[in-house]
Homo-oligomer: A and B are copies of this chain.
Amino acid sequence: MKNLKLVAARPDFSRSIVTVQGVEFGRGFVVIAGPCSVETEKQTIETAIAVKKAGALMLRGGAFKPRTSPYAFQGLGLKGLKILDKAKKETGLPIVTEVVDTRDVSWVGEYADILQIGARNMQNFSLLREVGKSGKPILLKRGMYSTLEEWLNCAEYILAEGNPNVILCERGIRTFETYTRNTLDLSMVPAVHKETHLPIIVDPSHGTGILSMIEPMSLAALMAGANGLEIEVHIDPESALSDKDQQLTVPQFERLMRKLDRAKAFLDSLDAEFADKAGGNGGGDADKTDNGIEAKIFADAVD
């Protein structure tokens, strides 16, 4: 991949840490949770309290919703941002919310701790430059038709404006398969770790669109080496104004978080064990491959 002057992987495959209000992306495993859309103060704050209790480190919630139809619910806008702000004050959870217009970057950035660039705007280069200039941490979703190379070039747009705080998010691509809402491409996790130093998280909610798949795909994402997840949770999914079929209930989310906790602890012990072995025998044959691929990246895959 050429022209990736700023986002290309380092020789030692170390990962950049993007720190947001004390939350570190690229170290540990960060779960962002919250409703698809901010709908009411009650819905947002109750969900925020619940996901925090379950272990989420950040709150997501859309105030500007890109919708296929102009007649669908478009989000509450400023009112939604104010609700998110209350939820943050209530819980201490930093806020991730989408920005869709260059004119909004500055004032939405007053409320958001991370600005999200949605899949449909991945190649909205004006917006990328504007969020680059803002210096805010950016969550850059993969476009649903985008190659890895295009995606990383979009990150390069942001870094080229002097903003190194980019977190990538795989959220599924469009294929011929209609069973799932999108095809969640978990192979992007090791691919991103090989080609760039930026952290990557996974969105299994949009990536599958099917409630029962969120738990297994979340565990799979963790094991593939993801640095975190973004998951839709709603206190009452059936009443949701958008994405009602893919938002977890609070009990489902609690259960998932308990499983993820166990799985993360297991993965840490696995990495420690194999790092030891590698160290113990002086680097170890297992770390050298016969095919010229650095085995090092296996060990780093989950860092």
Contact = CB atoms under 8 A, between A and B. Distances in A.
B301 A156 contact: no
18 contacts: A3-B71, A71-B160, A100-B125, A143-B145, A147-B178, A148-B179, A175-B176, A175-B185, A176-B176, A184-B185, A212-B294, A212-B298, A215-B297, A220-B220, A220-B221, A249-B291, A255-B298, A263-B270
A163 interface: no
Nearest to A5: B71
A43 interface: no
B213 A190 contact: yes
Interface of A: 3, 5, 66-71, 100-103, 120-121, 123-126, 143-145, 147-150, 153, 156-157, 160, 173-180, 183-187, 189-191, 194, 207-208, 210-213, 215-217, 219-225, 236-238, 244-245, 249, 251-252, 254-255, 258-259, 262-263, 266, 270, 273-274, 285-286, 289-291, 293-295, 297-298, 300-303
B293 A274 contact: no
A300 B100 contact: no
A259 to B, nearest CB: 6
A193 B292 CA distance: 30
